[in-house]
Structure 1
Amino acid sequence: MAKPTILLVDDSVLMRTIIGDIVRADDELSLVGAAENGKVALDMVKSLKPDIVLLDIEMPEMSGLEVMEHLSLMSRAKVVIISSVAQVGSP
Structure 2
Amino acid sequence: MTELEKAVKEIVEKQEDKESFVKDVLEHGCVSGIVPELVYYEDTHEWFDKYYEDIEDLRIEVESSIGEPLKIGNNDLKNWLAWFSFEESCRKLYGN
Structure 1-normalised TM-score? 0.27
More helix by percentage: 2
**Greater RCO structure (CA 8 Å; 6+ sep):** 2
More strand by percentage: 1
Structure 2-normalised TM-score? 0.26
